[in-house]
Amino acid sequence: MRYMTTAEIREKYLQFFESKGCKRLPSSSLIPDDPSLLLTSAGMVQFKPYFLHVKEFDPQYVGATTVQKCVRTNDIENIGVTGRHLSFFEMLGNFSFGKYFKHEMCAWAYEFSTDPEYLGLPAERLYFTVFEDDDETIEIWKSLGVPEDHISRLGEDDNFWRAGPTGPCGPCSEIYFDQGPEVGCGSPDCKPGCDCDRFLEYWNCVFTQFDGQEDGSLAPLITKNIDTGMGLERIAAIMQGVTNNYDTDVLRSLVAVGEGLANVVYKTDPGVDMSLRIMADHARSVTFMIADGILPSNEGRGYVLRRLLRRAVMKGHLLGVEGPFINQYVDQIVQLMGHVYPEIVENRETIRVIIESEEKRFGATMRQGQAFLEEALSGLDSDTLNGQVAFKLHDTYGFPIEVTEEICAERGISVDMEGFAAAMAQQKERARAATKDDAEAAWSTYGSIHADLLKELGATQFVGYDTLHCSARVLALVCAGQRVDSLADGQDGEIILDVTPFYAEMGGEVGDTGTISCPGGFAQVIDTKAPEKGLSAHRVHVVEGSIAVGDEVSASVDGQRRALITRNHTATHVLHAALRKVLGDHVAQKGSYVGPDRLRFDFTHFAAVSRDELVAVEQMANEFIAQAVDTTIYETSLEQARNSGVTALFGEKYGDTVRVVEAGEFSRELCGGCHVANTSEIGIIKIVSEGSAAAGVRRIEAVTSLGAYEYLAKLESVLLSAASALHCSVDAVADRALASVKQVKELQKAAKEAKANASGDALGALVQDARLAKGGYPVVIANIGSADSGAMRNAWDVIKSRMSAPGAAVLIAVNNDKPIMLAAGTDEAVAAGFNAGAVIKAIAPCVAGGGGGKPSMAQAGGKDVSGIEAALDAAAQMLL
Ligand code: SER
């Protein structure tokens, strides 16, 4: 047995199974093409359709082999605590869809494990488990030379594998490596399956024979299949002679990133070690999740991402790491794993920006949350933290609940999880009540009716790609959530037809409007939605007569509105393509709205789109549509479409047959929407706004054809008004406006100077009139009119600078109808007996005021302007 790097094992495995006739395929995205799963958690996920034979695998091969990136967080509390648990891991797999089965699989697994060309593990340290009654597999292992006492039977919990509650599954046989008695529990009963670390399961071979049904029963699959998974980190630990995943080459170098950040040494303190492991593991999950298009959010996989990131950030913070730091892991991860997973290299910048902005956002509240928690803990008179407090930490400060639990657990305190769950449920209820608008509520309450309608009537046939008008039959009517036989004049309801030209809102494109009529009635279609996939519900208002189930009707889409929608839809594709060409391939659609009036497009990008970039995108899009390119729309297999580089949306579920919308070489996208036949129909594309939609997501809004015309016409009229106001031609508006602004500024400056000079002159006159004080220094005693206290201090500065000898002043002014006064003297005047504080004290009562200050400067305010003269007199009496 010799030391092997993670990279070497990965490559040897894939080569080995290629040599057995398997096709090497890339890892699939962490966002599974499977609505029953939140995240890709096993190698078999991308192969489900082949196990079920809804798709056939390439017949040239006996099966497939992959290294699959996986995320599992079901046992997040164990991650970092043990050496075995990871939230992100790589799974080496090989898969057969009816071609090879147990005999070949067991023989190959044994060969790869023991042959010195490959792993070369000592046979005497290998143990095998099989599902309880699987005698056949026991015989196979024995025939390969495995002694009987190295084979044991385990029950359903250990040796029957399922990806989820339903779907392909089957009994399995696992291979364990004996790490030696010294790492075990020492119990005489210790054997594979024991909770201790002695026997490490590294390879799971599933004999995928069944399709798990909703009711729990097992239906046999058409063929007998193979799904195997070998944890790459685990086998790396074995091959590198260590008993902990985090001591293997890749993970150890990520632990080292944390050592550097926190300036600590791994393996000196168990608590610190755990934090370093959590940071290394979670940073890897976060990096790969963002690379696959997942963004932090408060639900679904976005929340899994957010929780992992926040838990890592808190661990780092508690180790004393300051500021955003996860990106240091990203750099190392890209270096270590980028050659196998190019998506982390391609999306590196996006990953960095999203992580940093999420870290900054959380960092701001994290400290406050910690203070809040500290306070709650110090006031605790039991050993349980109130669930409401835990909820507030979650809701206001963004603490994932397990983080709160961990911090509490360190102090021997538990968290009232029931109270937390109750507070959470209450909040969800409040949010639901608050956001449901009436119309939405009305549609959604019909939910179960629509499911029944779909079952009973089947899918609505959509003919609206080719025609806007057709004859149809009314299959069902719904009014106020109930099925009815007819809808009469004045009533609102829904019409379900057998065939329809109305597009039901989907993929961002709004639903069609129009009319449905028959000899006995006429209804306006206000909107069309698909409350169940495949079922079109026409929301109508009956204007005349009535419409009944069974009626033959004529269904007619508002063609003008539809034309505007199709222009905006094709324009959205053109903009998407132009954005990718100008900004880079990291641009991925995150959402869209395509209506008759405008379009909105949300996409991943890490900075504001600059003015120059926007101009470049808009110009490229317009130059392209002006080439009047015919669009081509065709159906093909998903695989074929992907292979030919068609843009598909991350996280979007596609069937096996997909619809490709092509506008020349410029844009090719999977899409089910309505499009123009030739790009010239779009007329013109005008971007009207660009802004932020969420962290790492930008939003542009644009208008086309008539919408663009209206927008430009409005701009023109604004421009013409400006030109007329500025008395110049349109071309000269900008120069004239700039010149005018400059002129206004100059005039304002000149006016200010003139005023200052004028007041300076007035003050000069006061200096001329200065009188001689008893102490022999000049003093100005005057009412300077209207001024605030700042202006009054300035006045003193001017007077001081213009006096022929160092002197003093007593100034009174009116500010907002109230008298204010200032007395001030130079050092020389003060030395000669001037005392500003005393002067103010003496004269302020004349204006019903008070105040004081130092001998060199004092101020006061009063209430009575009629006392100003008396105050001046009093000052003269005192000083002259
Ligand atoms: N699907 C099985 C597992 O995940 C074997 O690949 O363990």
User: Helices 232-239 and 6-19 sit at what angle, rounded to 10 degrees?
Assistant: 110
Rounded Cα–Cα distance for residues 540 and 495 (Å): 7
Question: Given the CA of residue 43, which atom of ligand 1 is nearest to it?
Answer: 6
Rounded mean pLDDT of 162-180? Answer: 91
Task: Kindly give, in sequence order, each residue whose CB lies less than 8 Å from that of residue 444, ignoring residues fewer than 6 positions away.
Answer: 436
Torsion of CA 519, 521, 522, 526, to 10 degrees: -140
Question: Given the CA of residue 93, which atom of ligand 1 is nearest to it?
Answer: 6
Q: Which residues of 194-213 are buried (b: 16+ CB within 10 A; e: fewer)?
A: eeebbbbbbbbbbbbbbbbe
Report pLDDT for 696: 78
Residue 442 predicted with pLDDT over 50 = no
Q: Tell me how far the alpha carbon of residue 99 lies from the centroid of ligand 1, in angstroms.
A: 19
Query: 463-467, 473-477, 693-697: lowest mean pLDDT where?
Result: 693-697
Mean pLDDT taken over the chain: 91
State how far Cα 663 lies from the chain centre: 30
Rounded Cα–Cα distance for residues 388 and 534 (Å): 43
Torsion of CA 608, 613, 619, 625, to 10 degrees: -60
Pocket around ligand 1: residues whose beta carbon is below 6 Å from it?
A: 42-44, 93, 161, 204, 206, 227-229
785: tokens are: 């009119």
Q: For residue 584, name the pLDDT band (cuts at 50, 70, 90).
A: confident
Pocket test for ligand 1, best of 22, 90, 204 (most atoms within 8 A of CB): 204
Rounded mean pLDDT of 548-571? Answer: 96
Residue 340 predicted with pLDDT over 70 = yes
| Nearest residue by C-alpha to atom 3 in ligand 1 | 229
Could you read off the pLDDT of 257-267 as tens digits, one per residue? 999 999 999 99
Residue 129 predicted with pLDDT over 60 = yes
Q: Tell me how far the alpha carbon of residue 229 lies from the centroid of ligand 1, in angstroms.
A: 5
Residue 441 predicted with pLDDT over 50 = no
Residue 650 predicted with pLDDT over 80 = no
pTM attached to this predicted model: 0.60
The structure tokens 């971007």 sit at: 687
| Nearest residue by C-alpha to atom 4 in ligand 1 | 42
| Nearest residue by C-alpha to atom 6 in ligand 1 | 229
Q: For residue 403, name the pLDDT band (cuts at 50, 70, 90).
A: confident
Q: Which residue has better confidence, 442 or 116?
A: 116
Residue 81 predicted with pLDDT over 90 = no
Residue 297 predicted with pLDDT over 90 = no
Could you read off the pLDDT of 42-67 as tens digits, one per residue? 999 999 999 988 889 999 999 999 99
Rounded mean pLDDT of 71-85? Answer: 85
446: tokens are: 């019909």
Question: Given the CA of residue 206, which atom of ligand 1 is nearest to it?
Answer: 5
Pocket test for ligand 1, best of 90, 161, 230 (most atoms within 8 A of CB): 161
Report pLDDT for 436: 41
Question: Given the CA of residue 44, which atom of ligand 1 is nearest to it?
Answer: 1
Could you tell me what percent of the chain has a pLDDT over 90? 71
Query: 461-465, 607-611, 821-825: lowest mean pLDDT where?
Result: 607-611
Could you read off the pLDDT of 192-223 as tens digits, one per residue? 988 888 999 999 999 999 999 888 899 999 99
Q: Which residues of 755-770 are buried (b: 16+ CB within 10 A; e: fewer)?
A: eeeebeeebeebbeeb
Residue 652 predicted with pLDDT over 60 = no
Phi/psi for 650 (5° steps) reads: -60, 140
